[in-house]
Amino acid sequence: VLLALQVRLVMKAYSFIRENVPRVLSSVKDKSSTVPVPRISQYLYFLFAPTLIYRDNYPRNPTIRWGYVATKFAQVLGSLFYAYYIFVRLCIPQFHNSSQETFNLRGLVLCIFNSILPGVLILFLVFFAFLHCWLNAFAEMLRFADRMFYK
């Protein structure tokens, strides 16, 4: 989780620098009196907005739909509980039974192959919970209107 957060922050910092350095350098080259430096509030909004492309202004919705936010957070919680249920019912019993026996490669391979399908389902649930529900909830709370993630 920390590694993913750090990668996201590095990508956002790179986008911020890539968009602003050419503007600053061109204003310095033209010897203009004002240097177009973004405000701190624009950078903070960009840090929390679900996008990796920096712009000074993003399209914004006029209001926050709190029912939509609550629904998305409920879907995140439901996905986490369902992933926990799948993990406890389908993955842990496979390895719990094998821990009481002596180690053999055949038993380990069988445990791993019996856990592949539940593992893939958990992976889909985590992707749905984070990429769809979590990011849409924060986009709604920030009134971020540009949500064409899948187009």
Average pLDDT, the chain: 87
Regarding whether 46 and 93 lie in a shared domain, the answer is no
Regarding whether 23 and 93 lie in a shared domain, the answer is no
Is there a contact between 87 and 118 (Cβ–Cβ < 8 Å)? yes
Regarding whether 67 and 17 lie in a shared domain, the answer is no
Regarding whether 64 and 53 lie in a shared domain, the answer is no
Q: Structurally, how many domains does the chain consist of?
A: 2
Regarding whether 127 and 110 lie in a shared domain, the answer is yes
Q: Which domain holds residue 33?
A: 1-58
Regarding whether 134 and 70 lie in a shared domain, the answer is yes
pLDDT, average across residues 89-102: 77
Residue 6 confidence (pLDDT) above 70: yes
pLDDT attached to residue 149:
53
Query: In the block, which residue shows the tokens 């821990």?
Result: 99
Regarding whether 66 and 54 lie in a shared domain, the answer is no
Regarding whether 109 and 48 lie in a shared domain, the answer is no
Residue 76 confidence (pLDDT) above 80: yes
Regarding whether 102 and 54 lie in a shared domain, the answer is no
pLDDT, average across residues 49-64: 88
Regarding whether 82 and 32 lie in a shared domain, the answer is no
Q: Look at 11-15, 37-41, 102-106 and tell me which has the smallest mean pLDDT.
A: 102-106
Regarding whether 145 and 114 lie in a shared domain, the answer is yes
Residue where one domain finishes, among candidates 12, 37, 58: 58
Regarding whether 53 and 119 lie in a shared domain, the answer is no
3-state secondary structure of 10: helix
**In which band, very low, low, confident or very high, does the pLDDT at 151 lie, cut at 50, 70 and 90?**
low
**In which band, very low, low, confident or very high, does the pLDDT at 58 lie, cut at 50, 70 and 90?**
confident
Is there a contact between 125 and 57 (Cβ–Cβ < 8 Å)? no
Residue 122: which H helix or E strand, with range? Answer: helix 105-127
